[in-house]
Amino acid sequence: MLRLEHVTKLYATSVRPALDDVSMDVDAGEFVFLIGPSGSGKSTLLRLLLREETPSSGNVFVANWNVARLANRKVPKLRQRMGCVFQDFRLLGDRTVGENVAFALEVTGKSAHTIRTVVPEMLELVGLDGKGDRMPAELSGGEAQRVAVARALANRPLVLLADEPTGNLDPETSDDIMLLLDRINRTGTTVVMATHDRQIVDAMRRRVVELHLGKLARDDARGVYGASR
Amino acid sequence: MTGLAFVWREALAGLRRNITMSIAMMLTTAISLGMLGAGLLAVRTIDRTQDLYYSQLAVQVALDEPTSAGDADCSSPTCTGLREQLQGDPLVGGVSFESREAAYQRFLRIYAGQSILQLVRPQSLPATLRVTLKDPTRGDALVAEYSGRPGVRNVVDQRALVQDLFTFLASVRNAAFGLASVQALAALLLISNTIQVSAFTRRTEVGIMRLVGATRWYTQVPFLIEAVITGVVGALLATGGLVLGKLFFIDRLLGGRLISNAIPAVGMSDVLLFVAPLLVVIGAIIATATGYVTLRLYVRN
Ligand SMILES: Nc1ncnc2c1ncn2[C@@H]1O[C@H](COP(=O)(O)OP(=O)(O)OP(=O)(O)O)[C@@H](O)[C@H]1O
Ligand SMILES: [Mg+2]
């Protein structure tokens, strides 16, 4: 499903590569935690998958897309098949919750009819039924992140990428979001999640990939957070 | 195409969401385009005034006293000879004869009720051949050619008499045109600046849309439509302003009896058929072009 081949990423403004010869594979349906200290390259890895950045060398594949070589005008197609969730939610602040979810469907050209049925489905899936008319500013952090998840799932993505989705949430709310991501993963969606949250990683017991200074430091099939140190 | 409907809805929703910004932009556009339109109208009126005068001006070949006195219809050999020669002249467009009596009658009409009438007798006015020229600027050639001919008292190029007025009008026109050009530039800068601000405030939004998989079409076309709507509404407001200005200011100013004979009125058709379409096109083009350039510069991806 996802494959990195000897990927190195050197930002123009820095001397040390953000990712240094990283190779890894993620199969369809897997749940992967991406951990490592701040600055170790977790976000960079996710951004390469989303084609927000291109690698300095090496190859990135998502399903059948050769992401790094993809023509600019095909990038939206790639992103329409991937869902992404961020620490800061990234909702469109001037639209309602329902409109935020609908937007993802609209850009893929779904019919008005489909949109009218899918949006409530998605809101129900994340536990926000009936809150479609709220504005993002009227939501708690946990609710906002649920909207982001609903939006990410609306197009039935191949992969869900999450960059510290619980980073701004209290432990209890974090657990709710993790339950949600776990449930989504069990329905077949591949999930890659970057996180600093030791408790979550230890509780879930899923595959753990650790980065250290841009290098792949560890890849455990059923890992915990702090095993190597 | 579903995309088109969506893009339209987005544009209208965008206008509504940023209502303050939209109104500010429309007013800005309206003011600068209105000034531009006023400048264009001034230029057009001055051009008209010049055309009007040109078309009425002629070279007057005044006949000498013996010929004037005895000839009521240009039947004397002197007059007929002069007329035929003029008609055969390649510079000449048309020739008409005005007898001493006809000149006196016209004089009576023009100065009706004024004391100068008592000083003038028919005998003091010459009969004239009024010569219109194919090229009004070539009057001097005709003056040189026919002055001093037998039967001719003198030859006057009317255009030469009002040359100073024309020079003055031309400079007023150029000043008005210069001001209009400066206004056009100001309109360009103001509109592009507001569009830039508006595009800038949407950078984050557009970034999010792109992450969700929106194509450029979805993120940029609504914005451009918004800009065009703003530009066009601004142009329409400007036209409305010009119409009001014409009705309540220009018409009153130029409506006085004296001026209305000297300066052609600004017609409603000048405002609606000449200036309005120009403003709409200029408004739309400026808005689209600056909108597009701004998006290219500020919104990566
Ligand atoms: N746009 C950028 N330009 C230059 N350098 C960057 C850029 N983004 C990240 N970096 C650098 O690349 C390295 C990896 O950054 P990255 O954001 O991938 O780390 P991270 O593991 O996500 O960290 P954190 O846990 O703090 O989010 C860091 O040294 C960072 O300074
Ligand atoms: Mg990060």
* pLDDT, averaged across chain B: 83
Position B57 confidence tier, pLDDT thresholds 50, 70, 90: confident
Least confident of A157-166, B73-82, B160-169: B160-169
Which of A96, A107, A160 to mutate: most B Cβ within 10 Å? A107
Q: Is the dihedral of CA B274, B277, B279, B282 positive or negative?
A: negative
User: Which residues of B fall within a CB distance of 8 Å from A109?
Assistant: 2-3
The candidate with the shortest Cα–Cα distance to A130, out of A105, A97, A157, is A97
User: What is the total residue count of chain B?
Assistant: 301
Residue in A84, A92, A107 closest to B218 by CB? A107
Cα–ligand 1 centroid distance for A74 (angstroms): 26
Q: What is the pLDDT of residue B258?
A: 57
Is the pLDDT reported for residue B110 higher than 90? Answer: no
pLDDT of residue B201: 76
Quote the ligand 1 centre to A15 CA distance (angstroms).
Answer: 12
What does the pLDDT read at residue B22?
84
pLDDT tens, position by position, A112-134: 999 999 999 999 999 999 999 99
A111 with B209: Cβ contact below 8 A: no
Cα–Cα distance for residue pair B206/B113, rounded to 1 Å: 77
The C-alpha of A6 sits at a distance from chain B's nearest C-alpha, in angstroms, of: 25
Is some CB atom of chain A closer than 8 A to the CB atom of B208? yes
Three-state SS letters, B212-278: CCCCHHHHHHHHHHHHHHHHHHHHHHHHHHHHHHHHHHHHHHHCCHHHHHHCCCCCHHHHHHHHHHH
Nearest atom in ligand 1 to A44's CA: 18
Domain A1-81+158-229 classified CATH 3.40.50.300?
Answer: yes
Least confident interval from B45-54, B251-260, B265-274:
B251-260
Chain A residues close to B214, C-beta within 8 Å: 76, 103, 107
Alpha helix ranges (H) inside chain A = 42-49, 75-80, 97-107, 112-125, 141-153, 171-186, 198-204
How many angstroms separate the Cα of B109 from the Cα of each of A216, B59, B65, B98, B104?
A: 106, 22, 23, 15, 9
CB-based contacts of A175: which residues, under 8 Å, 6+ apart? A200
What are the chain B neighbours of A103 within 8 Å (beta carbons)?
Answer: 209, 212, 214
What value does the mean pLDDT of chain A take?
Answer: 94
pLDDT tens digits for range A3-52:
999 999 999 998 899 999 999 999 999 999 999 999 999 999 999 999 99
> Cβ of B218 and A92 within 8 Å?
no
SS (H, E, C) A117-161: HHHHHHHHHCCCCCCCCCCHHHCCHHHHHHHHHHHHHCCCCCEEE
Residues of chain B with CATH 3.30.70.3040: 65-150
Q: Chain B residues with CB inside 8 Å of A151's CB?
A: 212
Pairing of strands A159-163, A82-86: parallel
B16 pLDDT tier (thresholds 50, 70, 90): confident
- The total of other beta-carbon atoms located within 10 Å of residue A171's CB is 10
Alpha-carbon torsion (B275, B276, B280, B281), positive or negative: negative
ipTM of the complex: 0.91
User: Residue B300 — pLDDT band, cuts 50, 70, 90?
Assistant: low
The one-letter amino acid at B194: T
pLDDT at B287 over 90: no
Average pLDDT score over residue span B160-166? 80
Task: Quote the tokens at residue B243.
Answer: 């119409």
CA A59 to ligand 2 centroid distance, Å: 21
For the record, the structure tokens of B72 come out as: 């009521």
Tell me the CA–centroid distance for residue B121 and ligand 2, in Å: 105
Rounded distance between C-alpha atoms, residue B292 and residue B159, angstroms: 51
The topology (CATH level 3) of B65-150 is Alpha-Beta Plaits (3.30.70)
From the list B219, B201, B221, the residue with the least C-alpha distance to B211 is B219
Mean pLDDT of A138-153: 96
Q: Are A29 and A188 in contact (CB under 8 A)?
A: yes
Q: B12 phi and psi, to 5 degrees?
A: -65, -40
Distance from residue A43's CA to the centre of ligand 2 (Å)? 4
Query: Shortest CB distance from B214 goes to which of A76, A82, A84?
Result: A76
User: Does the C-beta of A13 come closer than 6 Å to ligand 1?
Assistant: yes
Which of B3, B17, B213 is the closest to A76 by Cβ? B213
Asked if the model's pLDDT at residue B283 lies above 80, the reply is yes
Pairing of strands A65-66, A215-220: unpaired
B218 and A106 within 8 Å at the Cβ level: the answer is yes
Ligand 1 pocket test, pick from A43, A86, A209, A216 with the greatest ligand atom count within 8 Å of Cβ, gives: A43
Per-domain boundaries in chain A:
1-81+158-229, 92-156
The 10s digit of each residue's pLDDT in B208-229 is: 999 999 988 888 888 888 888 9
* Total beta-carbon pairs less than 8 A apart between chain A and chain B: 47
A14 in contact with ligand 1, CB cutoff 6 A:
yes
Place of tokens 């790639």: A78
Q: Name the minimum distance, in Å, from the CA of B220 to any CA of chain A.
A: 13
Contact list in A for residue B6 (CB cut-off 8 A) is: 106
* Single-letter amino acid, residue B55: S
CA distance, residue B286 to nearest chain A CA (Å): 27
Residue B55 has what pLDDT? 73
* CA–CA separation, B39 and B184 (whole Å): 10
Burial of B207 (0-12, 13-18, 19+ CB in 10 A): middle
